Amino acid sequence: MNGFRSGIFEIEGEWRCRIMNTHIIMTTTIMAAFMITTMAMIIAMATNMTMTISMQADMCMSPTIS
């Protein structure tokens, strides 16, 4: 009976370790994905800003050239 109980506890501890490891991996992957998406959004916003600025500059320049 005693060995059976200790075996159950060992299995439980192993599962706890596995769940913790998977939880850590999941949290890190979610954080990394979140950081990547935020960086992509920032880059897209920056490129959008530069694009609109260059477009406005072209619009302002074209009448003076012609």
Q: Is the pLDDT of residue 6 over 60?
A: yes
Domain ranges for the chain, please list them. 1-46
Which residue in the block uniquely carries the two structure tokens 């406005």? 56
Residue 34 has pLDDT above 90, yes or no: yes
The pLDDT confidence band at residue 12, using thresholds 50, 70 and 90, is confident
Coil, strand or helix at 1: coil
Mean pLDDT in residue range 31-45 = 91
For the record, the structure tokens of 50 come out as 């530069």
Average pLDDT taken over every residue of the chain: 76
pLDDT band at 47 (very low <50, low <70, confident <90, very high): confident
Chain-centroid distance of CA 13 in Å reads 30
pLDDT of residue 14: 78
